[in-house]
Structures are given as C-alpha cells and as structure tokens.
Structure 1
Amino acid sequence: MGLSGALLTTTILAATPAVASSDTSSTTPAPVAPAGAAAPKASTSLSIRSVRRTVLAGERIIVRGRLSPAGAGRAVALQVGAPGGGWTTVDHDRTDAGGRYVLLWRAARTGTKRVRVGFGGTRELSSARRAAGNARVYRRAFASWYGPGLYGQHLACGGTLTSGTLGVAHKSLPCGTLVTLHYRGRTVRVPVIDRGPFVAGREFDLTAATKARLGFGSTGTVLTTR
C-alpha cells in the first residue's frame, strides 16, 4: 500500500500544469519613436507694432514689431509685393533678446506697395508671416479744381460732368488710370476722366466732388502715386 500510494502521488504532481508567476505576466510594450525622428516645432507669431506707410519717393518705409517666442538673433525679412505677383525681399533684421525687430526700405518709385513681414523658421521654431498692409509712395504735384459752370458738359474720357463726379483731369495719363491723391491726412483713389489742366505748372484738375473728399482748396500741392 505504501509504495502504490507514493506512485499515485507522484503521477498527480507530474500532471499538474505549471502556473506562471506574477513576475512573468505579459504587458504591451510602449511604442518606440523611429530613430532620427524630428521633434515637433514650437509655433511662432509675428506682431506689428507700427508701420510708416505714407512716404515720399526716396524716403523709408519703416516696420517695427516683435517675434514670439522672444529670442535674439532670429532673421526677419521685409517683403514687398511684386507687380506680376509673388514677393520680393527688400530688407532683413535680426531680433533682439525681446524678439523686437525694425525693418527699413527706401522706396525709389511711386505707387501702392503690398508689404508683409516673414520669418523663415529654425530647427526648433515654425515659420510665420504677417501682412503689414499697403504702403503708398508719393511725389508732389501742383493741382487745381474745376466744375461749376461746366456741369453737363461731356468729359474727354466719356460721360458727363456733374457735381458728384469723382475723378481728375490729366494731360497724358490714359483714361481710367487710377490715381491715389493724399492731402493733409486725407486720401482718395479716383480715375482719370478728362483732359487738362491747361495752365502751366499744374498737373491735375480735381472735380468738385474729389476736391470735397480731400478737403482741398482752390490750388495747391497734393501728393500723388502717379
């Protein structure tokens, strides 16, 4: 009996399956980033504090602002819209420790220019752009005005002159050419609608409505983009 009982006990123990200990329980391993993967870039923003956008030809358009997050030595560019589309870089500056920049451009030719500021980014920072509006580059021109006594007459470029007609007369600019005029803080953009003035030294004749919009007197100097 003793021998058979020992054999039975041995057989039962051998048939019992092994139970895994808590030290060997399986868990899902954490994903491993691919070797050489770039870290995500921090987002950046450009702010514009001030823009000197009304200048005479030969003067400087000035844009001041700040790049965030702040840091010294980051390259910021001033860009001007090209006539056929796209942008032309006209100045660079590097930010100071507070992220501030000053960009300058001496505009040689008259006209209305689209202006923006750009930051190309770095390995740690994303790129950023910010529109700075339109800058207007003017020259001086002597002007007069006309209207009363001529209402109802035909204009050289078509149509009839009335007290509400907006536009200017010019000797040679093509009919329909848009001219931006600036006078003592006021600005209008009107088309060439007539020929004149026919007085030596005067470049533009303003209609009565254009004169009123500008707050212009009888004769004097205006600023023009043409």
Structure 2
Amino acid sequence: MSRSTLRRALRAGALCLTATTAAAVIPAAADAKVGVSTKRLNIQTGSRVTVKGHVDAPGVAKLQVQRRGRWVTLDRDRTNRSGRFVLRKRIRGAMSSRARLRLSTGETRLLGRMNVYRSALASWYGPGLFGNKLGCGGTLQAGSVGVANKSLPCGTKVTFRHNGRVLRVPVIDRGPYVGGREYDLTAATAHKLGFSGHGPIQVTK
C-alpha cells in the first residue's frame, strides 16, 4: 500500500470514529411532559366535554375518542407561550368511548372513558324471581349484575349514573314490558347504584 493510500484510509477511519462518537454523546430527545389540570368527561347530552392542561413542548394538542376501532379527533388547540391548551367539544348524542390526548410530537396520553348521558326510564326486579332463566342465558341470582332491555344485543355494555354513582353492566335479560320503561335493572345493579322504585336514570352505551 502506498503512503498516500494509507493516509486516505487513516483519514476515513478517523472521520467514521468521530461521527460514531458524536452520535453516542448526543442524547435522544426526551418525551414531552403533559399535565392535565381539568378533565370533564362525564356530561349530559348537549353539554361540552372539556380537557385543560399544559405541555413542555410547543405544538398542537388533540382530544380524541375511539370509535369503531379508530381514533377520531373532537377538538384541537395550539399551545400558547406557556404551553397551555384548552380542548372543548359539545356532544349532542349519548356515547361512551375511550378518550386520549395526542400531541403533534406523536405522543399520546389516555384520559379514561368519556361518558355522555341521556335520561331514560328504568325499574328494577329480582326478589321472587331468583332462579328464573334469563333471556340471554343462565339464571337470575341475588348477586346477578346486569340489565334487561328489549332490543339491545345480549352482552352489550351499558353505563348508568345515579346518585353520583357510575356502573357499567352487560345486557343479560329481556324486558321490561311495562309501557315507557326502557331498562330493568337487576336487584344487585339497583343496589350498587342506589336506585329504588322506578323513574329516570342517566344512561349511555
């Protein structure tokens, strides 16, 4: 090997070493830190869902919900100089979905379940009927947690809110067959919600 060839090889090796060393000492970008100060996800139909917070990196924050297996954006806001954002959306129909924040950096933060309730008439049943067969299979027991409905597919999850309590239960039976009533809660479900007699209850699915 000639001296000129050797010098070129040494220079190339030094450049590669310098690039490798530089890459090793440059730290990877840290994930943006997200803080949520206000989260209003349980609302009545016609009201606004609200999420407020801040992020330590400038950009855009999006409020998204999961619908039919994909994430749909309800609102977006560009952070101000202090990194704060406000996300609001008026929801006119009852719904229950997982919610998350998504940043323009690609990072996400789960917020929990967003429930938008409407009012429905309900009753409850159980004593004197324990041991009877359920419309969706099985038998009604004192501890059976679920609800009866005339048309929803068996197993459909329904979320109820009453007296400040929230409970998500499956459809396990058919009924009620009293005019105007949409849901019939099992005794165990009614007890967990503090529901008695018959009347309006907040519901979504």
Q: Same fold (TM over 0.5)?
A: yes
Cα distance 1:42–1:178, how it changes in 2: closer, same or farther (>3 A)? closer
Alignment pair present for 1:219 and 2:203: no
Identity score, percent: 45
Structure ID, larger Rg: 1
Structure 2 CA distance, aligned partners of 1:193 and 1:173? 10
- Normalization by structure 2: what TM-score? 0.80
Q: Among residues 77, 84, 98, which one is paired with 2:62 in the alignment?
A: 77
Structure 2 CA distance, aligned partners of 1:31 and 1:113? 51
The Cα offsets for residues 172-216 of structure 1, whole Å up to 9 and x where unpaired, read as 112222211111211112121222112111111111101111111
- Normalization by structure 1: what TM-score? 0.73
Cα distance 1:120–1:164, how it changes in 2: closer, same or farther (>3 A)? same
- The structure in which a higher percent of residues are helix is 2
- Segments of 5+ residues of structure 2 without an aligned counterpart are 1-13
Query: Which residue does 2:145 correspond to in 1?
Result: 166
Query: Which residue does 1:68 correspond to in 2?
Result: 56
Q: Among residues 118, 121, 130, which one is paired with 2:102 in the alignment?
A: 118
Structure 1 CA distance, aligned partners of 2:125 and 2:113? 30
Query: Which residue does 1:12 correspond to in 2?
Result: none
Structure 2 CA distance, aligned partners of 1:63 and 1:137? 15
Contact 1:47 1:130 in 2 (8 A): no
Cα distance 1:177–1:82, how it changes in 2: closer, same or farther (>3 A)? closer
Query: Which residue does 1:25 correspond to in 2?
Result: none
What is the CA-CA distance between 1:58 and the residue it aligns to? Answer: 2.5
Query: Which residue does 1:88 correspond to in 2?
Result: 72
Q: Among residues 102, 109, 112, which one is paired with 1:130 in the alignment?
A: 109
Query: Which residue does 2:42 correspond to in 1?
Result: 54
The Cα offsets for residues 25-58 of structure 1, whole Å up to 9 and x where unpaired, read as xxx8994799xxxx97564222212211111223
Query: Which residue does 2:165 correspond to in 1?
Result: 186
Contact 1:157 1:194 in 2 (8 A): yes
Count of aligned positions = 187
Structure 1 CA distance, aligned partners of 2:18 and 2:164? 64
